A and B are shown apart, each in its own frame.
Chain A
Amino acid sequence: MNEIALTLVLLSPFIAIAVLLATSMRWSLALAAVPAFAAALLTPVGSTLELSWLLLGVHFALDATGQLFLLFSSLVWLVAGVYAAATPPDPGRRRGFDLFFLLALAGNLILVLAADMVTFYVGFALMGLSAYGMVIGRRSQRARRAGRIYLAFTLAGELALFSGLLALAAAVDSRLFADLTGIAMPPVAVGLLLLGFGIKLALPGLHLWLVPTYTGAPIVAVAVLSGPMMNAGLLGWLRFLPSDASGLADWGSVLMLLGTAGLVLGVWLGVMQREPRAVLAYSSIAKMGLISALFGTALANPVHTAPIIAALVLFAMHHLLVKSALFLGVGEWEKRGRVSWVMVVLGLLALTMIGAPFTGGAFAKQGLGEAVADGLDGPAALLTLAAIGTALLMARFMWLLTRPAARPSPICRVPVVAWLALLPVALWAPSMPGAIAFDVAGLVPLGAILAALAVMAWMDARWPGLWPHGRSSDELNAIGLALRHAKRHLPALEFQSARLRVALAWPASAPAPSQGTLVIPGLLWLALFLGLLMAAVLSH
């Protein structure tokens, strides 16, 4: 019975594809995630499904962590599906988007339920690569650039993951996650896995794809990218780096530093953005930085591992839901402009994001605070920093929303209903009773947000040109400009920079060959190998 349920969950996106191709019924987009949602609520933890003849032998299982991921991810996919299905298609274009949407969903479900490494990898690759087709959505120059960058980073991530997987599989001689508990992790494998999933989680340095993607892709794509897909990276870490394996403590410290850097970077650059989407993108970088830092804490302090990870998963789930809902709301804002009820709903979501009292955000944050409370000063300070940073970002976000939206476009009512239906869940997830319990500490960020708003209003009035309207820049853009500048002074650079510039700069002056973008992951790889080499030399 449970096997049938899991089979149905995994097959439903493919059935939806068949229905879509045969009948063009776009409601299949929304229905495809329904079995997954139902299964997350109804199927008991511990259900397994084993298909030994498939691929290299495929194992699925539903455990407690997987159940949470399945529940929240499928909910967002469901709402995004309604949103996509109800949005009128671009003439002649829409079927491609729909197919990639369903393929990405299939990949996400596969990886959440996967109980062995190869199956997880297959799902992860399917999800990541299919999302490319969603990112390039309308084929605008901006979207195509976003697609190129996204694809290059995703491929680099896949390959890092693939190599890490091989190193791990060869070391433990098994592919099952269950066999990873308590083993000694080979350092190369850990490094590669951190890198591979780190790209999805936008660790600093690996985050360059995120802002172009979130600002260039269609809003439905961004909603699922920023929610379920991003959190798949976290699930990857949880699955591949079990807390009781040895040899992870040093990596945990590295991750703490990287995550903290991500948090600072996200807040720092986020408040300087000119587009709401870009602010949310940097807010994701900051949040994932926090999550990575706390995951690093858990790895570095084996005593605290279990409570931290439990709280961390809830925190991540809350973020998944709220961030997706925020992006869908930005989509409404882009279509309608400053309609007051849209602003109110977005304001509520921003409040739960910063963990204001009576919201799920407060509960999730409190849980984290308690988990790191005894004896870990660093992470506790980090939480405070994150709270203030998030408040600043949300203030900036709301501030930008008060400006007129760029492109009014046709309005459709159905997606709004789905979005509003998501609101209460997003507000109070992961626990409503927990959220209602009042917490005075929750007032601190609220104060911060008000103060920040006031400062910004004052600065905007004082120096009107300080934050110009229009599109945001991103770091790749800046790198491209810097290269262009450097080229003028260093003619020798010309040969290399021609390709880089085409790949990085936006707006691109000429249609760019997409292989140029691969220079970036190539450099990443080089850096990684040098780093690993150094680590190996130092450890001997």
Chain B
Amino acid sequence: MSLSASLPLLILLSSLVPGLVIFLLHEESRRLRTVLNLLGATVKMILVGVMIWGVFHEQVYETRWTLAPGLDLVLHADALSVLFVSLSTLLWLVTTVYAIGYLEGSPHRSRFFGFFSLCVTATVGLALAGNLFTFVVFYEFLTLATYPLVAHKGTPEAIRGARVYLAYTLAGGMALLIGAVWLRTLAGPLEFVQGGILGGMEHLDPWALRWIFLLLIVGLGVKAALVPLHGWLPQAMVAPAPVSALLHAVAVVKAGAFGIVRVVYDVYGVEFAASLGVLALLGAAAAVTIIYGSVKALSQDHLKKRLAYSTVSQVSYIALGTAVLGPLATIGGMVHLVHQGVMKITLFFAAGNYAEALGVHRVSEMDGVGRRMPGTTLAFTVGALGMIGIPPVAGFVSKWYLGLGAVESGAAIWVLPVLVGSSLLNAAYFLPILYRAWFKQPPAAWPGGHEQAVGRWEIKGALLWPPLVTAGLAIAAGLFAAAPYSPLEWARLIAEREYSS
């Protein structure tokens, strides 16, 4: 097999193999497990680096197995998949480091890291999927690989959260499957092609296509937490912090959003979808979700729940950017795929640190945490400001392009009040946290009672560095947005290729 045919497969294997091996490891073989984890993540990084370079220079990477005539399992690299693959690879590495530190000494670590690797494998497979069939396969795989992670703690609450998660996502998966099969019978093999494939098929019944679109979006919308399909997400926050971080930033929620992007751009084609009128529907759903999520976040005292509703709101920026016709909005949506991931993972890392070091789970307990944990709180601050959209953090760049796209399209000018309202609401639920953390006096004793022994840093390095690194990335992605190979430039490349065809 040549490199161009095997590279997508190798990328998949670089997390699949360590994951499977880790299942077999003894619980106590901590060092070997860590080496395997980090080795897998590093190898994947290198391979993805090669792929980025190649896709930029218009190389073709494709692995294809024919399962039955007309039913191919395809892994294919284009600019969009590379965007998602590099995000998940990078954040996987960081989260692995964090998880190793976070779970130190807790039971069932082999099980955890095994499923953790499978989860990333599913995400990467989904990113590299070259047709709708492959996408659906990995989408279901992801559901199953994530369930044990949500339930990991084994408490009744965790089991319940995981059940809700499973009920929602399996139902969503069903809708997606039905939609995909229906479309398959109408239109033949559904390869992802830049510019879409359905636009060229004039014999198809537009109403059938509209219904199929609805089914697909409902299926994907469950994972992307579009209102009213979002119910599982706030419940899933019972998962351990690294899982929440990955869930909200890369794996599940992002998979849904990524799927929406794929269906709109590479199956229907954005212009064809607009002519069907289904984009308006998607846009309305996204706008409602954005505002609803923010409003709900306002009243949450539990920090992780507030962050969860914030995710509900922020991920829909991606769907919103997809729903507005025009390259600028496309850039805004695509780049937010990366930006939201980097910022939200920072926030969840920080939330995990507060819980771990101080036993602080609620916003009302966060008075003065900035004094006690300045590094973590600095990272949290960067993430929060980015979510509001304050320059130079990455969120500003997303908001700028989304807004510009909305104004330029003319018809979608209503997006602007949504963005402004969302920013105000984001400020309303994040700034009070920052005020508490930095400006209020810390309490005499933290809720956790037993403070973790402080070494050189506020918390052990494996937990401190990941949020600092991702916060740095969030700033870098905004500050150097115009530099080559930045997420923004990459999103531009995607938009160029989507609209040129």
Contact = CB atoms under 8 A, between A and B. Distances in A.
Interface of A: 52-57, 96, 118, 121-122, 125-126, 129, 136, 139, 151, 155-156, 159, 162-163, 166-167, 169-170, 513-515, 518, 521-522, 525, 529
Contacts of A162: 389, 399, 403, 420, 423
Contacts of B141: none
B333 to A, nearest CB: 16
A515 B403 contact: no
B400 to A, nearest CB: 7
Interface stretch (B248-256, B283-291, B476-484): B476-484
Contact of B482 (A57, A96, A139, A525): A57
A292 B423 CA distance: 29
B462 interface: no
Contacts of B392: 55, 122
Interface string B9-44: 000000000000000000000000000000000000
B448 interface: no
A118 B399 CA distance: 12
14 contacts: A52-B482, A53-B482, A54-B482, A54-B483, A56-B481, A118-B391, A118-B400, A122-B391, A125-B390, A126-B391, A151-B431, A162-B420, A166-B407, A513-B432
B298 interface: yes
A56 B404 contact: no
Interface string B408-428: 100000001100100110011
B479 A159 contact: no
B373 to A, nearest CB: 16
A159 B482 contact: no
Enumerate the 3 nearest inter-chain pairs by beta-carbon distance, A residue then B residue, closest first.
A515-B428, A170-B407, A53-B483
A170 B435 contact: no
B420 A525 contact: yes
Contact of A515 (B391, B397, B399, B429): B429
A55 B407 contact: no
B439 interface: yes
Contacts of A139: 439
B168 interface: no
A170 B424 contact: no
Interface string B432-463: 10010011000000000000000000000000
A230 to B, nearest CB: 21
Interface in B317-373: none
A155 B425 CA distance: 11
A55 B420 contact: no
A521 B427 CA distance: 12
Contact of B404 (A54, A166, A522): A166
Contact of B424 (A96, A125, A167, A521): A521
Contact of A129 (B390, B403, B406, B478): B390
A177 to B, nearest CB: 17
A56 B420 contact: no
A60 B496 CA distance: 29
Nearest to B406: A166
Given A122-B392, A513-B432, A54 B403 contact: no
Given A163-B416, A515-B432, A518-B428, A170 B404 contact: yes
Most B CB within 10 A of own CB, among A155, A166, A169: A166
B397 to A, nearest CB: 7
A140 to B, nearest CB: 12
Contacts of B488: 56
Contacts of A54: 479-480, 482-483
Contacts of B408: 170
A129 B478 CA distance: 18
Contacts, number: 79
Contacts of A522: 424
A25 B479 CA distance: 28
Interface residues of B, number: 34
Given A55-B391, A167-B407, A170-B408, 9 more contacts: A53-B480, A53-B483, A54-B483, A155-B427, A162-B420, A170-B404, A170-B407, A514-B428, A525-B420
B479 A55 contact: yes
A166 B481 contact: no
A515 B432 CA distance: 7
A57 B479 CA distance: 10
Contacts of B478: 55
A81 B468 CA distance: 31
A502 to B, nearest CB: 13
A54 B406 CA distance: 24
B396 to A, nearest CB: 8
Contacts of B399: 162
Contacts of B407: 166-167, 169-170
Nearest to B429: A515
B418 to A, nearest CB: 11
A163 B420 contact: yes
A500 B435 CA distance: 20
B440 to A, nearest CB: 9
A499 to B, nearest CB: 12
Contacts of A126: 391
A104 to B, nearest CB: 14
Nearest to A57: B482
Contact of B481 (A55, A136, A163): A55
Contacts of B480: 53-55
B380 to A, nearest CB: 16
B298 A96 contact: no
B417 A529 contact: yes
Nearest to B403: A166
B487 to A, nearest CB: 13
B400 A163 contact: no
B483 A125 contact: no
A518 B388 CA distance: 14
Contact of A166 (B400, B423, B428): B400
Most B CB within 10 A of own CB, among A57, A151, A162, A522: A162
Contacts of A169: 404, 407
A162 B395 CA distance: 13
Most A CB within 10 A of own CB, among B423, B427, B429, B488: B427
Given A54-B479, A129-B390, A525-B420, A514 B435 contact: yes
Contacts of B482: 52-57
B429 A159 contact: no
Interface in B258-300: 298
A159 B428 contact: no
A162 B402 CA distance: 12
A22 B112 CA distance: 41
Contacts of A55: 391-392, 397, 478-482
A129 B484 CA distance: 30
Contacts of B429: 515
Contacts of A529: 417
Contacts of B417: 529
Interface string B466-501: 000000000000111111100010000000000000
A129 B399 CA distance: 18
Contacts of B404: 166, 169-170
A151 B407 CA distance: 27
Nearest to A169: B404
Nearest to B402: A166
B101 to A, nearest CB: 26
A196 B422 CA distance: 18
Nearest to B488: A56
A110 to B, nearest CB: 10
Contacts of B439: 96, 136, 139
Contacts of A513: 432
Nearest to B480: A53
A533 to B, nearest CB: 11
B490 to A, nearest CB: 15
Contacts of B435: 514
A45 to B, nearest CB: 27
Contacts of A129: 390
A54 B396 CA distance: 13
Contacts of A125: 390-391
